[in-house]
Structure formats: C-alpha cells, structure tokens
Amino acid sequence: MRLNLKLIGYPIKHSLSPWIQSTFLERAGIEGSYTLHEIPNEELFAEEIKKLREAEVNGFNVTVPYKQTIIPYLDRLDITAERMGAVNTVSLEGKEWVGYNTDGIGYVQALRDKFPDLSSNMDVSILILGAGGAARGIFHGLVQTGYKKLTLANRTKSKGEDIIKGTNASVITLAEAEKNIAAYDVIIQTSSVGMNEQKQIIDLSDLREGTIVSDIVYQPLMTQLLKQAEEKGGRLHYGHTMLLYQAREAFEIWTDKRVDVTGMSEAMIARLTGGK
C-alpha cells in the first residue's frame, strides 16, 4: 500500500516538511508521498477537510493557523494533544482520525541529541522565554521527560501561570529573567521575537559561559539572541531541529518506524541558508 500523507496549513509553500518526510519514507523503504494541502482561509476549512476524509489519507500534519481548528473534526485525541489543546499530527486508525501533538517531545529530543549531558542530569535549571503555543508544548515535553527545575518568563505573567498550573515550576517577568540569567543552565526562547527581524526578547549580557541557549526561531537560523549568546560563550541550539524531530515522531505514529536522522540537520541548514 502506498502511504498518502499531507500537510495542511497556510502559508506552507516554503515548508521543509515535504523534504523531511520524503527523506524518511526513503530511509524507511516505504512507498508513499507527503504533499502540501494549502487551506488559504478558515471558511474553506470544513470543505477541504472533507476532501481529505474522502481521499482516505493515512495521515497528515497540521501547522499554523489550524492546530486548534482541526480538533472538532477528529474522533479522538491522545493525552498530550488533549493537554496542549492543539494538534500537529493526525493519523487514520481504523476508521478514526486520531490527533497527536509531537512538537514538545520532538523539541526535547532534539535538544538532548545535541547535548547528551542533558540526558543524565534532570536537575539542570531550565528557563523558558515566552508563553504561547510553542512554550506550552515545550514546557510539558520537559515535564514529561522528568526535568525538575523549570522557570518560565513571560511579558504577560498570567499566561505563564496558566501553562505551569499543576506543576512546581515558577513564573517570572522578562526583566527578572534578564537580571538572573546566570542562574540558568539552559535557556529556551519560544516566542516569535527575532523571526525575520533583528530583535531579541531579553538581553544576555550576564550570560554564564557554557550555558545552553536554544532559539526555536529558525528564520534566520542565527538569531540576534543566538549571536549574543555566542559572544558570551554560550552553547547554541538552532530552531530547525525542532521541525526535524517533531516530524520524526509524527512519522513513527504513522508507520511504527523510527528513522535515523543522521545528516538531515546539516542538509536543512544548507537549504535554510540558501546553499545546497
């Protein structure tokens, strides 16, 4: 059987997901395709989803702005998607469409793959900047993996408090984060600040050498925040690997196969920076 996989969202023309998933299909030796199904506006959503049902697609990814819009169309959510209130992966299981969210766990795996020392030390002090959808996924991915010392900093404190509810994490302001930046071993930037702009969410003047600084923004790959982190002797983690690893988790849901991602991060960097 040929696997019929899709990506829905808008805009998605420049998405790297078709390249990532085609590479996975090839590496796993599975026949199939992963193609774009652009839905330009919400009014067309119901109709386009009906088409996917009729086409009996085996699975699809959901990206902005539809990660919440898709939920009423699904038969069931797994526990993580339920907790996130957002879905990035849908799988046809029997006759049911089941919704998953692989963003958070994908992100945590990307980080641990790059910095293996994080796998053996659950007591590292981690600071998350921002409290949007991405922060929620990453925060719960970290909690699920067993990290115990989590702090979230956000411009609007109440949004952070909503994310950490039921955990022993704490919420601080961005000013407090900036002032105490040397207290953290890992800093994760989850907001859109820095995307296609020379801005950063906080200043890293007091960064401790060796601190891991991760930015989920990957356009540009080297954000202004990461540039400053590099100057201060930080260890950098680029945002595109989150895309790669959430895709690997989605692929495993669809196929039960865990693919090897060797070389793919480098190939993505070449694509993102215009090389080949």
Among 33, 119, 156, 273, which residue sits at the site for ligand ATR (rule: CB under 6 A)? 156
CA 84/CA 99 separation, integer angstroms: 11
Closer to ligand ATR at the Cβ: 68 or 273? 68
Please provide the distance, in angstroms rounded to a whole number, between the alpha carbons at the two ends of the chain: 32
Partners of 96 in the β-ladder = 93
180 contacts: CB under 8 Å, gap ≥ 6: 172
Contact window for ligand ATR (CB under 6 A) among 36-44, 93-101, 187-195, 233-241: 187-195
Under the binding rule (CB under 6 A), the answer on residue 3 touching ligand ATR is no
124 contacts: CB under 8 Å, gap ≥ 6: 118, 147, 149, 185, 186
β-pair type (149-153, 235-237): unpaired
Under the binding rule (CB under 6 A), the answer on residue 179 touching ligand ATR is no
Q: Is 71 exposed, middle or buried, given 0-12, 13-18 or 19+ CB atoms closer than 10 A?
A: middle
Residue among 156, 163, 121 nearest 140 (CA): 163
User: Site map for ligand ATR, 159-178, x if CB under 6 A?
Assistant: x-------------------
CA 248/CA 245 separation, integer angstroms: 5
Q: Which of 6, 13, 51, 67 is catalytic?
A: 67
Under the binding rule (CB under 6 A), the answer on residue 154 touching ligand ATR is yes
Q: Is 131 exposed, middle or buried, given 0-12, 13-18 or 19+ CB atoms closer than 10 A?
A: buried
Closer to ligand ATR at the Cβ: 131 or 261? 131
Closer to ligand ATR at the Cβ: 163 or 247? 163
Under the binding rule (CB under 6 A), the answer on residue 235 touching ligand ATR is no
260 is written with which tokens?
């090897």
Closer to ligand ATR at the Cβ: 99 or 137? 137
Under the binding rule (CB under 6 A), the answer on residue 86 touching ligand ATR is no
Q: Any catalytic annotation for residue 67?
A: yes
Among 189, 191, 224, 246, which residue sits at the site for ligand ATR (rule: CB under 6 A)? 191
Contact window for ligand ATR (CB under 6 A) among 101-109, 118-126, 185-193, 238-246: 185-193
Using CB atoms, what's the residue nearest to ligand ATR?
A: 132
Closer to ligand ATR at the Cβ: 91 or 191? 191
233, 210 contact by CB (below 8 A): yes
Among 20, 201, 213, 226, which residue sits at the site for ligand ATR (rule: CB under 6 A)? 201
User: Is the Cα torsion angle 59, 7, 112, 272 positive or negative in sign?
Assistant: positive
Interacting residues with ligand ATR between 93 and 152 (CB under 6 A) = 130-134
Contact window for ligand ATR (CB under 6 A) among 155-163, 207-215, 221-229, 257-265: 155-163
Kindly list the residues in this chain that would bind ligand ATR in the complex (CB under 6 A): 130-134, 154-156, 159, 191-193, 201
Annotated catalytic residues are 67
